[in-house]
Chains A and B, each alone.
Chain A
Amino acid sequence: MSTASPQAPTVAVETPFQRLRSQFLENRLATFGLILLALIIVPSVLAPWVAPQNPFDIGKLDIFESQLPPGSVSESLGITYWLGTDGQGRDVLSAILYGMRTSLIVAFVSVTGSLLIGATIGLTAAYFGGKVDALLMRIVDLQLSFPAILLALILLSVLGQGIDKVIIALIVVQWAYFARTARGTALVERNREYVQAARCLALSPQRIIFRHMLPNCMPPLIVIATIDLAHAIAAEATLSYLGIGVPVTQPSLGMLIANGFEFMLSGQYWISFFPGIALALIIVAINLVGDHLRDILNPRSAQ
Chain B
Amino acid sequence: MLLFIINRLIQAAGAVVVMSMLVFIGLYLIGDPTAMLVSPEANDLERAAVRQAFGLDQPIWMQYLTFVGNAARGDFGRSFLTGQPAMQLILERMPATIEMVVVAIGFAVLVGVPLGMLAGLRPKAASSKAVMTVSILGFSLPTFWIGLMLIMFFSVYLGLLPSSGRGSTVSVGGLSLSVLTPDGWRHLILPALTLGLAKAALIIRVTRAATREVLPMDYIKFARAKGVRPRRVVGVHLLRNILIPIVTVTGLEFGQAVAFAVVTETVFAWPGMGKLLIDSIIILDRPVVVAYLVLMVFFLIMLNLVVDILYMAIDPTAREKVRD
Query: Nearest chain B CB to A200's CB is how many angstroms away?
Result: 39
- Asked if A158 and B27 sit within 8 Å, CB to CB, the answer is yes
- Asked if B260 and A145 sit within 8 Å, CB to CB, the answer is no
Contact residues on A (Cβ < 8 Å of other chain), bracket = 35 or more
Q: A153-B277, A231-B140 known; A147 and B145 CB under 8 Å? A: no
Q: Does B142 contact A (CB under 8 A)?
A: yes
Q: Give CA–CA (A147, B293) in the complex, Å.
A: 11
- Asked if A153 and B281 sit within 8 Å, CB to CB, the answer is yes
- Asked if A269 and B152 sit within 8 Å, CB to CB, the answer is yes
Query: Nearest chain B CB to A235's CB is how many angstroms away?
Result: 8
For B207, what are the chain A residues with a Cβ–Cβ distance below 8 Å? none
- Asked if A279 and B142 sit within 8 Å, CB to CB, the answer is yes
Query: Nearest chain A CB to B311's CB is how many angstroms away?
Result: 15
Q: A265-B163, A276-B149 known; A157 and B27 CB under 8 Å? A: yes
- Asked if B156 and A269 sit within 8 Å, CB to CB, the answer is yes
Query: Nearest chain B CB to A126's CB is how many angstroms away?
Result: 25
Q: A153-B277, A158-B29 known; A267 and B23 CB under 8 Å? A: no
Q: Does A241 contact B (CB under 8 A)?
A: yes
Q: A231-B140, A269-B156, A273-B152 known; A158 and B26 CB under 8 Å? A: yes
- Asked if A150 and B262 sit within 8 Å, CB to CB, the answer is yes
Chain B interfacial residues counted at CB < 8 A: 39
- How many pairs of A and B residues are in contact by the CB < 8 Å rule? 106
Classify the secondary structure of B's interface with A.
Answer: helix
Query: Nearest chain B CB to A140's CB is how many angstroms away?
Result: 15
Enumerate B152-187 residues with CB–CB distance to A below 8 Å: 152, 155-156, 163
Q: Give CA–CA (A265, B297) in the complex, Å.
A: 36
- Asked if A238 and B143 sit within 8 Å, CB to CB, the answer is yes
Q: Give CA–CA (A235, B142) in the complex, Å.
A: 7
Q: A160-B30, A276-B148 known; A147 and B259 CB under 8 Å? A: yes
Q: Which of A46-54, A106-114, A180-188, A283-291 lies on the face that meets chain B? A: A283-291
With A146-B300, A244-B281, A284-B140 already in contact, 6 other A-B pairs whose C-beta atoms are closer than 8 Å: A153-B277, A153-B278, A157-B30, A231-B140, A234-B141, A242-B262
The 7 closest A-B pairs by CB, nearest first: A147-B259, A158-B26, A234-B142, A157-B281, A150-B259, A241-B144, A238-B142
Residues of B with Cβ closer than 8 Å to A? 15, 23, 26-27, 29-30, 136-137, 140-145, 148-149, 151-152, 155-156, 163, 252, 255-256, 259-260, 262-263, 266, 277-278, 281-282, 289, 293, 296-297, 300, 304
